[in-house]
Amino acid sequence: MIIMQLINGYKYTTEQEAQSAVTLCNQYYGIPIEGDTTENWCMYQIAELNTPIFWYIIFDESLLVVLGESTEFEVIYEDLSE
């Protein structure tokens, strides 16, 4: 089943922009720490069923200081739970 969900987060038109946002968060929070299992503070996802395709990071309060205000946008995805 195809589902459309309203997401609060950060939307990027290229994967490179999303990777840069993750890098900024990692640098701000000092990730990775040697010997720790955490590799990234946050991670992006791809909205490959949307047209045009885009990449996004779901909002978390800890991202506000690094990425600024979030926005709301629709993401289309396939529900594989059925």
pLDDT tens digit sequence for 33-70:
888 888 999 999 999 999 999 999 999 999 999 999 99
Q: Measured in whole angstroms, how far is the alpha carbon of residue 20 from the centre of its chain?
A: 11
Q: Inform me whether the pLDDT recorded for 82 exceeds 70.
A: no
Q: How far is CA 56 from CA 18, 27, 59, 82, in A?
A: 7, 19, 9, 25
Which has the higher per-residue pLDDT, 10 or 80?
10
pLDDT tens digit sequence for 6-42:
999 999 999 999 999 999 999 999 998 888 888 999 9
**CB neighbour burial string for 15-26, b if at least 16 within 10 angstroms, e if fewer:** eeebeebbeebb
